[in-house]
Amino acid sequence: MENQEMIQRYIYAVTQTLPAAEREDLGRELAAVIEDTLAGQGPEAAQDPAAVRQVLRDLGSPRLLAMKYRGREEEALIGQPHYNLYQIILRIVLWAAGGGLVLAQILTAVFEPQANLLSYTLESLFSIFNGLLVAFAITTLIFAVMYRKQVRFDEEDFLESLPELPAETQKRESPWELAAGIIFFVLFILAFAYSPRVNLPVLADGKWTSILNGELVGALAPLALAAGLLNLTSLIVNYAVGEVNTGAAILDLGANALGIIYAFSLLTKPEVLNPGFAAMLQGLTGLDAAGVSAGFQWLPLTVLAVIVVVLLFDSGQTIYGLIKAKSKA
């Protein structure tokens, strides 16, 4: 390669990823700088391929130089401000997802006895690995977006978010509450989106069955996944931000709204209970099918009412906290 061609290609490599408006100007400047540097090494340097290569090597890789020009040489996927929390949450998520997946695989084997246990075990291991990978990816993605969007920890208000002493009543969300929330939503996603047929398993008379209708839960799996992920994101963001702000409040309200929509979509359906579970109730109560249907129709609606009340209360708290924070500001 000719010296001039190498220089031109180097400049092109640096400038091609920069904004179009800057490319020509920066290209001219780099060309002048390289020419000056070569001239500074003696009259023959521009013709010496070794000298040209050395000058370009000294400038460094085009990719890194371009990042410096863009002011992004210290960019990261997650970044230091969030890294400690990321480690803690990732650990909780992976333990919860791993535990839940192992449990789901065991319950599936109990529900549907497998002909080839070895093959099922291998498939289960692969499935658990996949699930852990997805959990890792989603957690990392949430933190990457937080870093990108510059969701910040309010360092000025750190005195407000110091952990409470064990003897005192905990008013603010503690890391244990965060961990419990994460475990709950990871298990929710596993039960209602990943293993809808297993959903809520119960054991009676030595036999496992699911409480809810697997087909119905399966049909609503995408909504369950969206509600679970949004709640998980809201939980992490609200904990990370450590204060009430508009963005975090909107996320919390959206997560609650999606939770209510999901609960309505599932629990208002007449076929919400698993026929197998209904049969189990018949056996336990001595009622016939009509009696069970009449006697237990209140159950899903009661659960729905509890969910709605809890989520509306949480939303009310969020709105109240936001108004209070705004009025203080």
Partner 1 sequence: MTAEEQFLQNFQSELKRGALVLVTLSQLRQAQHGYQLVKTLSEAGLEVEGNTLYPLLRRLEEQGLLSSTWAITEEKPRKNYVLNPKGARMLTEMLAIWQASNHTIDQLLNEE
Window of 66-74, 80-88, 162-170, 262-270 that interacts with partner 1 by CB under 8 A: 66-74
Residue 11 vs 178, nearer CB to partner 1: 11
* 3-state class (DSSP) for residue 207: strand
Half-sphere exposure (Cβ direction) of 293: Cα atoms closer than 13 Å = 8
Closest C-alpha among 89, 197, 188 to residue 138: 89
Pick from 50, 57, 59: nearest CA to 32: 59
40 sits near partner 1 (criterion: CB under 8 A):
yes
Task: Determine, following the binding rule CB under 8 A, whether residue 204 of this chain makes contact with partner 1.
Answer: no
| Cα–Cα distance list, 312 to 248, 305, 318 (Å) | 16, 10, 10
Q: Report if residue 71 touches partner 1, rule: CB under 8 A.
A: yes
Report if residue 123 touches partner 1, rule: CB under 8 A: no
| Closer CB to partner 1, 63 or 326, in the complex | 63
**Tokens at residue 47, please?**
């013709």
35 is an interface residue for partner 1 by CB under 8 A = yes
Closest approach, Cβ 37 to partner 1, in A, equals 6
State the sign of the Cα–Cα–Cα–Cα dihedral 179, 184, 188, 190: positive
Give yes or no for residue 75 binding partner 1 (CB under 8 A).
no
Q: If we measure between CA atoms, which residue out of 212, 177, 172 comes closest to residue 195?
A: 212
Contacts of 82 (CB under 8 A, 6+ apart): 143, 146, 147, 151, 153, 240
> In this structure, what is the dihedral angle of CA atoms 226, 231, 232, 235, given to the nearest 10 degrees?
160
Site for partner 1 contains 63 (CB under 8 A)? no
Size of the site for partner 1 (CB under 8 A): 19
15 binds partner 1 (CB under 8 A): no
> Which range in 32-40, 76-84, 192-200, 310-318 contacts partner 1 by CB under 8 A?
32-40
**60 touching partner 1, by CB under 8 A:** yes
Does 65 engage in binding with partner 1 (CB under 8 A)? yes
Q: How far is the CB of 218 from partner 1 (least distance, A)?
A: 54
Q: Is position 26 an interface residue for partner 1 (rule: CB under 8 A)? A: yes
Residue 149 in contact with partner 1, rule: CB under 8 A: no
Q: Does 59 bind partner 1 (CB under 8 A)?
A: yes
CA atoms of 125 and 105, how far apart (whole Å): 9
> How many other CB atoms are found less than 10 A from the CB of residue 211?
19
CB of 83 to partner 1, least distance (A): 21
Binding site for partner 1 (CB under 8 A): 25-26, 28-30, 32-33, 35-37, 40, 58-60, 64-65, 68-69, 71
